[in-house]
Amino acid sequence: MRLQYLCSNEKDIATIREKYQPDVTITQRNEILTSIIEFNKNEDDEDAAKSLSIIDTDIRSKYSSLQLIENDASAFFNKELYPLFNTFERDLRKVLYLAKALIGNDGSSTQSSVKEVAHKINNLELLDFGKLYILLFTSESFYKDFTKKFEKLKSDSPYNKKQLEKLISDIPEHSLWAKLEYAKEIAPNITESFWEIKEYRNDVMHTHNIDYVKYQKIKNLMVTVNTELEKLNQKYNPTITPAILKDKEKFIKFDSTITETLVKLSNEFWNNPHFEISNSCSAGDKPAYYQSFYENS
């Protein structure tokens, strides 16, 4: 893992050589009248990436003559973050489709807000992240009302910032996401940070340089929102647990019966090659241990 920079400022090169020894390697390239400044780490893990990222942040803040040409630390951060965004997008679509399924695919509910959810959640795979944001978190009616009030402001006396903030806050906003049951209470970080997630996703997908501090911030946020989506998924698509598994004592007894029965059946089979139990016989005709299993199953 390494960092590489081009530099043609002899004074900066000399200072960097002195300050960062023995970690720095400087190679003179006479044919292009510049030098390549390089930092290397043998490891390829988060600790190595963190170490190089700290060096990169420090050196570029002090020497404007440097031109970064390779940043393996940032590349490592991008690779680590990509799966988190992939999971987020896939799980988000899943949650939205499950929410729609609970409403009814035909949108037959008499509530207009519910019908809107059912109508708009469709072909989500065709939407890029920007359009998905518009679908979930913007309100067409809010924008229209705001535009009307803004036009009126042009002819009125000047407003200060506080007045404008109140004017905007008084306009009702009904986003699609707000209409999804449980979304606001179970997934507050998605509600509050979706635009931020959108910007971070852009950094990762377009391989922008990311330092360690930003990497940690993005990672923590994405782990949090992915957990929220998992909880929403469980809320919309609960797993049905057999009653016997909910009762610990019954399950232990049931599990013990299964084990005992299988052992006895196995022993009897090997001792008697002609042994068989017909599925058609009643429980009373079966051996006592098989009958015990039959009654507990």
- Going residue by residue through the chain (297 aa), what tens digit of pLDDT does each one get? 999 999 999 999 999 999 998 889 999 876 667 899 999 999 999 999 999 999 999 999 999 999 999 999 999 999 999 999 999 999 999 999 988 887 654 444 444 455 666 778 888 999 888 888 888 888 777 777 777 777 777 666 677 888 777 877 787 777 788 888 888 899 999 989 999 999 999 999 999 999 999 999 999 999 999 999 999 999 888 654 455 444 555 545 555 666 666 666 666 666 665 555 554 444 455 455 444 444 544
Contact 40, 2 (CB under 8 A): yes
C-alpha span between 158 and 168 (Å, rounded): 15
Residue 34 region by backbone torsions, left for phi larger than 0, else alpha for psi between -120 and 50, else beta? beta
| CA dihedral sign, ordered 59, 60, 64, 65 | positive
Predicted pLDDT of residue 297: 47
pLDDT recorded at residue 280: 46
Evaluate whether 52 touches 72 at the Cβ level (below 8 Å).
yes
Q: Which residues, listed in sequence order, are joined to residue 67 by a DSSP beta bridge?
A: 6
**pLDDT at position 106, please?**
43
Considering only CA atoms, which of 184, 191, 147, 190 is closest in space to residue 168? 147
CB atoms within 10 A of CB 232: 24
Torsions phi, psi for 15 (to 5 deg): -65, -45
DSSP β-ladder status, 2-7 and 24-29? unpaired
Q: Give me the pLDDT at residue 40, please.
A: 95
pLDDT at 101: 81
How many Cβ atoms from other residues are within 10 Å of residue 227's Cβ? Answer: 12
Q: Provide, for the chain, the percentages of residues in helix, strand and coil under a 3-state DSSP scheme, each rounded to the nearest 5.
A: 65, 10, 25
C-alpha of 96 from chain center: 15
- Asked, as a colleague might, if the bond just before 83 is cis with ω within 30 of 0, I would say no
- Phi, psi (degrees; rounded to nearest 5) at 129: -65, -35
Instruction: State the chain's maximal CA–CA distance in angstroms.
Output: 101
